[in-house]
Structure 1
Amino acid sequence: MQAEPIVSAQGQCLSGPLLLTPQRFGDDRGWFFESWNQRRFDAAVGEPVAFVQDNHSRSSQGVLRGLHYQLPAAPQAKLVRASVGRILDVVVDLRASSASFGQWAGVELSAESQQQLWVPEGFAHGFLTLSDVAEVQYKTRGYWSRDQERAIRWDDPALAISWPLETLGSATVSLSEKDAQAPTLSDAQAAGEVFP
């Protein structure tokens, strides 16, 4: 497994998130790769990680989920991959003490590349479905908490995330009601709903 840090749209290396590329073995019959190996993952992120929940979603083209996170009282880290189709996966640094606070980075994850994105606590996470359909699977460190879950607006002008909307063809962005009503990062920070 190869692990590499990701760089924000502002050109700064984000401390924490990693793009993980598994070693794939293939021939004319097909391919094989390890989608999960505890020892290799712990070595890549530099700490032992105990996952407590696996999630699986299916989305049509144009569905945008996020930007989600859980407050520091019950934070949640994620290991994300697309097992069907393609998505643009985005992280936003919500650690107020970080030099990259408010910066974002996006990586395309696909069933073809088999790459995974490690999203540690302290980051908001979301994705846009680029293909006709995508299935996204992710492991979480920390259980989902209705009381601690929060979201940041996907189109917050201060973040200026470059969602590739031009690739959607006739599809339009489709949001949940909760995501459509999410506050901006500055509103979340003013409410004390970011990480220290």
Structure 2
Amino acid sequence: MPSEVHPTRKKLLEAGKREFLAKGWKGSSLRRICASCGVTTGAFYFFFPSKQALFEAIVDPVIRALLSLTEELAQRELEDLFTGQEGDRRMMEFELAHRQEFLILLEKAEGSSREGFREQAYSSMARCFSRQFEKAIGRRPRQDVIDLLAGLRFETNLAILKGASHMEEAYFLNSIMGCYAEGGFLHLIEQMHHKL
């Protein structure tokens, strides 16, 4: 049976998430975090050895779960190229369930131990795109093509995360993008495979 999170620890995690989302890692203040949830800095250090440890406690569980989901979805897409829309939906569900953590990691982590997350996430997406194209055309595709397509998809996902006012809108926009991407992928394979 999982142990309950101490109420003070839980308050610090929530206050830290709000502070990092509002101010970013660099602009965040341990004193503001503590003050916003009525906890002394001494009590803070009982639960976390540093602001960095609090930051990691907020984002690292999401990173671990993301890595597991990404690996699962990438494997399924390699086995069947037509599972992409389902994978897109599951990924968007995950991103929306952890929207604040993703926005912190993608836009607010500069100066933290996780500041490279954005580049790692993009690189992971580009590798998945490359493997999909390689399977479809029987050779490695041009890197500039992969960079362009992965960049478009990455920035679109981020725009949906930042801009959708409610879950239904985010799912709708994601399904539109997934359908468009799948059609574009198939059209590229059919019409331009020799140039890729």
TM range (shorter): under 0.3
Q: Return the TM-score normalized by structure 1.
A: 0.25
Greater gyration radius:
2
Larger RCO (CA within 8 A; separation ≥ 6): 1
Q: Return the TM-score normalized by structure 2.
A: 0.25
The structure with more helix, counted as a fraction of residues: 2
